[in-house]
């Protein structure tokens, strides 16, 4: 019981002290003595709040920028993947469309041709044009023979069979230096010999000086040797090489077929 008055005394003292301080602040405020301190406090507090808001806003903006960049990177990756997919689909559809066109041309040739044609497909492809031979997917078992002409639609000569296997065959292209084909100009009938020019072009040689040939003339097989039918398209004259003292005229010929892109072909097995 001795401690109870002491506790009450201490509590009263604290409350009284607080009351006196509060009363003093009220009196000083009424008298205007605290205005300067309040003004300073408001200024410092306002600046602190403003700076805190600015720093907080910068931090928030920084996080938003990071998240925005992350989202843009993700969206860009997704769009890039979609573009790659569309490019792949477009290339696949384009390839399929080109293949369908080639097949339709091949079908028309087989149906309308006067020759006995065997449809074959190239097993090798050299887009550089350096190779002068291709391999086809039929051979002796399909009745193929050496020297038989190989054409593409719509009746363009590309080469002849020079090597046979059981189920495949090698075709030497017109541009090979070993090639020699009797040919003529479709319009004038001027005759000569087509030779390969090491894969670069064709040379129409042994044209007599009295024959009329010019750039743009179409060259076809003449059928004189009997190993090739007459009328197969070979190519078109692009330039002439002739001098008055030469015994024969020469002309350079561009093949009518793209020999770097041969896929669907026909072997002429007979009339």
pLDDT at 95: 42
- Look up the pTM and report it: 0.60
Please state, for a pLDDT cut of 70, what percent of the chain lies above it. Answer: 68
Asked if residues 152 and 262 have their Cβ atoms less than 8 Å apart, the reply is yes
Measured over the CA atoms of residue 121, residue 143, residue 104 and residue 152, the dihedral's sign is: positive
pLDDT tens-digit readout, 35-59: 666 666 666 666 776 677 677 767 7
Tokens representing residue 107 in the block: 């079908």
pLDDT tens-digit readout, 136-166: 999 999 999 999 999 998 789 999 999 999 9
Mean pLDDT of 257-263: 87
pLDDT over 50 at 91, yes or no = no
* Residue that the structure tokens 């887009």 belong to: 127
pLDDT over 60 at 90, yes or no = no
Mean pLDDT of 16-29: 72
Mean pLDDT of 58-76: 74
pLDDT over 50 at 1, yes or no = no
pLDDT tens-digit readout, 228-240: 899 999 999 999 9
Give the model's confidence band at 115: pLDDT under 50 very low, under 70 low, under 90 confident, else very high.
confident
Give the model's confidence band at 201: pLDDT under 50 very low, under 70 low, under 90 confident, else very high.
confident
């Amino acid at each position: 019981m001795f401690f109870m008055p002491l506790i009450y005394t201490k509590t009263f003292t604290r409350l009284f002290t607080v009351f006196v301080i509060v009363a003093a602040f009220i009196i000083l405020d009424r008298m205007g003595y605290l205005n300067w301190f309040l003004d300073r406090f408001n200024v410092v507090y306002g600046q602190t709040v403003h700076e805190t808001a600015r720093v907080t806003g910068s931090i928030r903006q920084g996080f938003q920028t990071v998240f925005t960049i992350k989202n843009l990177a993700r969206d860009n990756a997704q769009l890039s993947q979609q573009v790659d997919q569309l490019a792949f689909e477009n290339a696949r559809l384009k390839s399929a469309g080109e293949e369908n066109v080639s097949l339709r041309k091949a079908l028309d040739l087989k149906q309308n041709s006067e020759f006995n044609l065997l449809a074959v497909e190239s097993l090798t492809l050299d887009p550089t044009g350096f190779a002068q031979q291709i391999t086809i997917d039929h051979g002796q078992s399909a009745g193929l023979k050496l020297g038989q002409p190989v054409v593409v639609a719509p009746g363009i000569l590309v080469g002849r069979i020079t090597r046979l296997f059981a189920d495949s065959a090698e075709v030497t292209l017109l541009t090979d230096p070993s090639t020699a084909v009797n040919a003529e100009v479709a319009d004038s009938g001027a005759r000569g010999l087509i030779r390969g020019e090491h894969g670069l072009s064709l040379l129409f040689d042994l044209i007599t000086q009295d024959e009329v040939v010019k750039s743009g003339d179409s060259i076809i097989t003449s059928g004189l040797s009997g190993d090739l039918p007459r009328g197969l398209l070979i190519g078109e004259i692009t330039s002439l090489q002739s001098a008055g003292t030469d015994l024969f005229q020469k002309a350079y010929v561009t093949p009518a077929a793209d020999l770097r892109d041969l896929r669907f072909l026909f072997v002429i097995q007979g009339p």
